[in-house]
Amino acid sequence: MDAGILLRKILSPAGRRDPWPLYASLHALGQVNALPQIPGSKMCAVVNGYEAVGEVLRDVRFVNLDRGNIADSRPDWEEHPFYTTLMGTIMFSNAAEHSRFRRLFGKVFTPRRVTAMEPAITALIDARLDRMAAAGADGGEIDFMTEFAYPVPAGVVGQLLGIPEADWAWVPPRTDLINEALNMRVNNAKVLEAADVATQELVDYYLELIARLRAEPGDDVTSGLIQEIDAAGGGVTDLELACNLVVTYNAAFSTTTPMFAAALVELLERPEQAARMRDVPEAAGPLVEEILRYQTSVHFVSRSASEDLTVHGVDIPKGGTILVMLGAANRDPKRFADPDVFDPERPENNPISFGVGPHYCLGAALSRREGALAMPRLLRRFPKLAIGANPQVNDSILLPSYLSLPVTLF
């Protein structure tokens, strides 16, 4: 079976639900696999091996989609707020423009800030656990996604960015609509229209937030960014900052929600590992790391060759697009022994779930810390926690997760 057939299977509804055997078949073909030429498409290869994925993501000659190269694939991009907002942000930019934003955010979005937030994160987690206890007090099922996996990351990134608590529930549904368009569905007119509306609403919201925090700054990332920009005499406009806040929220929120769901399912299927997460403080970090490897939150990104390039023997022509399969790389048998076995004690466990190189995810440290803080507290609070009937999964290959995950608490 060639890589083209495998990719079609991966992107099919069945493949989206269970891509792992198909990733194994890709690995059997090689680290990088050429795709058959399709008229009108620039997609020319999939990169699935751990080593090759790292090489591509570190190589600045493989560029991200940005304003400079989108017109070929989407001539009408300037008519859509979804594109005009995302293009030219820290997530969708390259070279000097990307470095300009990265330096700014690097001054404010720091590991020290994440550490300083731990008491607030813990308080937020405990408050949600109290609400879960009340919702499930009668012994019936409650939805883990609604009660925990959505509101905890929404509250954490809300605090981080200075979003008022009253708005914490307003942002995630609009972020979901953006992700629906990012999930290789921008050719669906209704999906793109919904993403356009959601994106514009978020930009308008963040512009108002920037104005408010400039007048009354707080101890949050957005206030810090405003102060850095103003102290430097500009360099980043309020509109650019608002657009970057859209993708920053996405990076910090959308990776954590599926991680919580995956963690719960994988741990409850392995009672001995759930007990370690609950009872052994130093085990939380390695368990989260293995969850990130075993059930990757973001399964792929794309890159375009800025010149003729060759990766592991596969030629990529200038302008050619490649799919970089993070989920497959985390199950590469050449990097991880017995990759389909859940093993938190595996040596040198360095999943590539958050990428590497210039576009390494800004929210990685926050997401990891949320997992290490939240899952032990959840399992200690509800030692009889069990998965209920009929969980509903989405069909996303970009961000596979659950639409609903019923649980019982007692």
The Cα-based distances of 251 to 22, 76, 92, 203 in angstroms read 27, 26, 12, 16
Whether residue 170 contacts residue 160, with contact meaning beta carbons closer than 8 Å, is answered with no
Q: Which two tokens stand for residue 273?
A: 């590992």
CA distance 251 to 255: 6
**The predicted structure's pLDDT at residue 395:** 84
Q: Which residue positions in the chain have pLDDT lower than 50?
A: none
**The predicted structure's pLDDT at residue 377:** 98
Encode burial over 192-229: b for 16+ CB neighbours within 10 A, e otherwise.
bebbbebbbebbebbbebbeebeeeeeebbbbbbbebb
Helix H or strand E encompassing 321: strand 321-325
Q: Give 62-74 as a DSSP string.
A: EEPP-TTTSTTT-
Helix H or strand E encompassing 46: strand 43-47
386 Cβ neighbours under 8 A, 6+ residues apart = 268, 407, 408
Number of CB atoms found within 10 A of residue 137's CB: 11
What pTM, to 2 d.p., does this model score?
0.95
CA distance 36 to 165: 50
**The predicted structure's pLDDT at residue 72:** 83
Q: Which two tokens stand for residue 322?
A: 């490649």
Radius of gyration of the chain (CA): 21
List of E strands, 165-218:
none
